[in-house]
Structure 1
Amino acid sequence: MKKSRILEIAVGATLAMGLSASAFATDGYQLIGIGQYAMGMAGAVVAAPDDPLSAAINNPAGLALMTPQAAFSAEIFNPVRKTNLGFGEIGSHSNVYGVPAIGWAAPAFGDGIVFGGGVYGTSGLGVNYLQNVPANPHLPNGGYAQAFSSITFMQMAPSIAMKVNPHLAVGATLNIAAEQASFQQTFTQYASASGPMGPLNTGGLNLANPSWAYGAGFTLGALYKVNDMVTLGLTYKSPIWFTSLNWQAGVQNQVNPQTMSGVYGTPGQYSGTLNYPQQVAFGLAIRPIPRWLVSVEGQWINWASTMNNFKVSGPWNAVYRGAPAGSVSSIALPMHWSNQWVANFGTQYDVNNWLQVRAGYTWGSNPINNNTIASNLIFPAIVQNAVTVGATQKLGMGWKLTEAYMHAFSNTNTGPAGSSPFGGPMPASATMYENSYGVQVGYDF
């Protein structure tokens, strides 16, 4: 087999692994809750927001029911990812990230109107895989694959809410966001069967220089208090529409390993757009007794609209054999995510005047199925079940301290036989589990 053909197979296999990006948390790449009250309730706060963060991010109508207050949250998020490219399981070398958040609520513009909001960020999320690929019939000399990704996401959510009457409160949030992304999917072919001796051949998609994009969307929310025992909550979040991510990059290529057709890209600017999906949530909060809160929630996330294909535009003007004559303006990296259904359950009990304890459980359908896992090996947002615990201590003089812990149970997606992107004897697979530890300081003015 000619050297160039071997490299084509390797590059095509690397690109087949899909878009490099981060796995934020249990609901696809969306955190199940912002702030430690929401995390302790497993995200079931649409009908029971209790602090500025849970209100501004989940249901802004809740701000209308709050006294002036502020909250400061810090969280350590620990997703553990493993993948199998067909030659044995390897782990990612990046698995600890920080999630800071600030929220506030204050009266404004007259009786019954409250202004508030929240700001949070996640930094450096992504994966970092280095896989040695032994010699095999497709790659007689072997080589190694590098799969790196990093994404930073920040959101500011200024909100306004109004208590319409003793039963109904409504609110709206302007979601202003920024994201930074970079990724690399390359394969280096050894020049000889003895290993990395002599000149090496490297190819793939390399957009490793970080790029910023900016977006905006909105959230509409309502709370309806049926009686002292039952409250209903409803929110709609629009997509967050982002500007393009732009990378200045060198030579790229995209080759289909089955048809041996595709395109090369010359040095220049490459761009892609990664929007945040629209979603709808409905919640029911019940207080069987004044001290005990039970909250349940159903959520729908429209991942199929944003994570079906990631299109990379650029100077793809060097046409490879088998492709139509002329240049192409973009290529599509297939992700094929499905829409997601999420069920959240949270409960809280007031032990006494200064201590509250809470726990929760969340389940989400997997947006990635086994047949498409080979295209998502470095985007393994596949966990489905998580449990949470938390507590709040009221320290006096308006101060309170809230803690939460989350564990998402390990889940594995395994592709069909022959799904290894490098022709390995094992099928492609991805495994993931998560832990989160957080603390929040609040102050009631």
Structure 2
Amino acid sequence: MEKIMKKSRILSVAVGAAVALGFSAGALATDGYQLIGIGQYAVGMAGAVVAAPDDPLSAAMSNPAGLALLTPQAAFSAEIFNPVRKTNLGNGEVGSHSNVYGIPAIGWVAPAFAKNWVFGGGVYGTSGLGVNYLQNLPSNPQMPYGGYAQAYSSITFMQMAPSVAWKVNDRLAVGASLNIAAEQGSFQQTLSEYAPVIVGSGPNGPVTQVAPVTGGLNLSTPSWAYGVGATLGVLYKVNDMVTLGATYKSPVMFTPMTWQGGAQSLGQNGPFGAAGQYSGHLNYPQQVALGLAIRPIPQWLISVEGQWINWRATMNSFTIYGPWSTGSYVQLPMHWSNQWVANIGTQYDVNSWLQVRGGYTYGSNPISNANTGNNLLFPAVVQNAITVGATQKLGMGWKLTEAYMHEFANTITGPVGTAPFGPQAPSATLSENSFGLQVGYDF
């Protein structure tokens, strides 16, 4: 078993599963592990809403300045999400379990303490990649009885964003959100080898039984951490045809997650950890978004947006503090790059009660092929998505919004010899689908 573990490259900690209002998700429509849009209007526009927010969710979550342009209203969104994840841990491709999730979100806006000021916000889930792999390993000279590998990750991420916005004049609006977040994480990468184990003694000597002997990294007891950050947004109406939008989201800085764990092993020649308390920080990155919304005619909207997400600052490595044999901490490499995202969405008002929309988004892959083996627990590799959606105004202040999203499958493959469990090249594949329904009410 030690010879097998010597070849192991401990996978990066998986950061992802989203949650809102107590419902967790294992993978979401993502740029890295960030949602492309919050609420079904934003999803239908492929996330291109920084310059064109249109409901409390798209405003509070993407550009709080947009709240200043909305009438008092509330919205509830519910989404069914289907990610398909596959990996090769070194001995053939396997799929992840639990591929259907629910994603709810709530947003609102109402008058505040002075003229042209409003208060709003939302409670929602972001992020999205948790996996659950089990791979049987064949017998070999180093492992005569065979064995199995387990790779598991889960992060629950909850965020609420109380927001204020001010309509400065007919052209300019500004807004700010306080991002209050909580996350719960657990992860595991272990190898279990079937081996003879002495279970007693008999007249002819020791009595043995073939049983699994497990080693690796196992921090699978969930732990909560809490963080805070802020979003600043601005909207400027150049004229009746053109609107500009911009936002800056600060990092969300979290308290450490802590785990009570047993003995840990990072390979034969790597550090070993005694049973005890382990901890680590998983912060959320800063980002900037710029948008342009154009109405060639009053009933037709075209919105484009560019984003920069500073993944390198938070996902270059994950430091685990604990009673390690080599010191007080070890670092697990992930080596994410910063990400550039381009979104385009369009909406057309068919008549007084029906709007239709669609969009496309592209995000550069923050994980390189060379780092596939470091990120098999976290395959945040999708790049291209298309979306469609519609809104029906039902009367009496009610409206219904639907959206469908498809992220095309993408695969990354690492060099031979870098897989954690076996001789084959490591790989990670991810594709995603979602369908959501949102109910809104204008007060």
Q: Which residue of 2 aligns with 1:212?
A: 224
Q: Does 1:52 align with 2:56?
A: yes
Residues paired across the two proteins, number? 422
CA contact (8 A) 1:100 1:122 kept: no
How is 1:201-350 mapped onto 2 (pairs within 5 angstroms)?
A: 201-255=213-267, 260-316=268-324, 319=325, 327-350=326-349
Q: Is the 8 A contact 1:97 1:124 kept in 2?
A: no
User: Matched residues in 1 for 2:432 and 2:128: separation?
Assistant: 16
Give ranges in structure 1 of 5+ residues lacking alignment: 1-6, 320-326
**Aligned partner letter, 1:208:** S
Structure 1 residue matching 2:440: 3-state secondary structure: strand
| Distance in 1 of aligned mates of 2:329 and 2:349 | 56
Query: Does the aligned pair in 1 maintain the 2:33–2:128 contact within 8 Å?
Result: no
Which residue of the other structure, out of 433, 438, 442, is the alignment partner of 2:440? 442
* Secondary structure class of the residue paired with 1:357: strand
Q: How has the CA–CA distance of structure 1 residues 14 and 97 changed in structure 2, closer, same or farther, with 3 Å as cutoff?
A: farther
Counterpart secondary structure, 1:275: coil
The separation in 1 between residues aligned to 2:195 and 2:302, in whole angstroms, is 63
User: For residues 152 and 297 of structure 1, what CA distance do their matches in structure 2 show?
Assistant: 28
Alignment of 1:81-230 (within 5 A): 81-121=85-125, 126-136=130-140, 139-191=143-195, 198-230=210-242
Q: Measure, in 1, the Cα distance between the counterparts of 2:129 and 2:75.
A: 24
* Deviation (angstroms), 1:179: 0.6
Q: Is the 8 A contact 1:24 1:125 kept in 2?
A: yes
1:407 aligns with 2:406: yes
Residue 20 of structure 1, CA deviation:
3.2
CA distance in 2, matches of 1:275, 1:201: 34
1:9 & 1:181 partners in 2: Cα distance? 30
Residue 14 of structure 1 contacts residue 185 of structure 1 at CA under 8 Å; is this kept in 2?
no
Letter in 2 for 1:233: G
**What is the CA-CA distance between 1:79 and the residue it aligns to?**
1.1
Q: Aligned letter for 1:215?
A: G
Identity of matched residues, %? 73
Q: For structure 2, list consecutive stretches of 5 or more residues without a partner in the other structure.
A: 17-26, 197-207
The amino acid that maps onto 1:344 is: N
1:13: Cα distance to partner? 4.7
Measured after TM superposition, the shift of residue 53 of structure 1 is 0.5
Residue 323 (structure 1) aligns with:
none
Specify the alignment match of 2:21 in structure 1: none
> Which whole-Å CA distance do the structure 2 matches of 1:86 and 1:270 have between them?
28
User: Equivalent residue of 1:55, what SS?
Assistant: helix
* 1:140 shift after superposition: 4.4
Using the TM superposition, give the Cα deviation of residue 125 of structure 1 relative to its aligned residue in structure 2, in angstroms.
5.7
C-alpha deviations, 1:31-81, integer Å up to 9, x for none? 100100000000000000000010111000000100000000011111110
Of 418, 427, 431, which residue of structure 1 is paired with 2:429? 431
Alignment correspondent of 1:16: 10
The one-letter code sitting in structure 1 at the alignment partner of 2:431 is: Y
For residue 40 of structure 1, what is the aligned residue in structure 2? 44
User: Distance in 2 between the 1:186 and 1:72 partners?
Assistant: 40
- Output the amino acid matched with 1:172: A
Distance in 1, matches of 2:3 and 2:107, equals: 50
Read off the aligned partner of 1:243 and give its amino acid letter: T
Contact 1:303/1:337 (<8 A) preserved: yes
User: Secondary structure of the equivalent of 1:200?
Assistant: strand
SS in 2 for 1:16: coil
Closer, same or farther in 2 for the Cα pair 1:166/1:271, shift >3 Å? Answer: same
User: Which residue type is aligned with residue 420 of structure 2?
Assistant: P
Q: What per-residue deviation string (whole Å, max 9, x for no partner) do you get for residues 229-258 of structure 1?
A: 000000000000000001111111122xxx
- Offset at residue 136 of structure 1 (A): 3.7
Structure-2 change in CA distance of 1:367 and 1:81 (3 Å) = same
TM-score by length of 2: 0.92
Query: In structure 1, which of residues 66, 70, 76 is the aligned counterpart of residue 70 of structure 2?
Result: 66
TM-score of the two chains, using structure 1 as the length reference: 0.92
Q: Does the Cα contact within 8 Å between 2:9 and 2:419 map onto a contact in 1?
A: no
Q: Is the 8 A contact 2:286 2:310 kept in 1?
A: yes
Closer, same or farther in 2 for the Cα pair 1:360/1:138, shift >3 Å?
Answer: farther
Conservation of the 8 A alpha-carbon contact between 1:125 and 1:152 = no
- Residues 62, 397 of structure 1: alpha-carbon distance in 2 compared, 3 angstrom cutoff: same
Aligned to 2:202: none
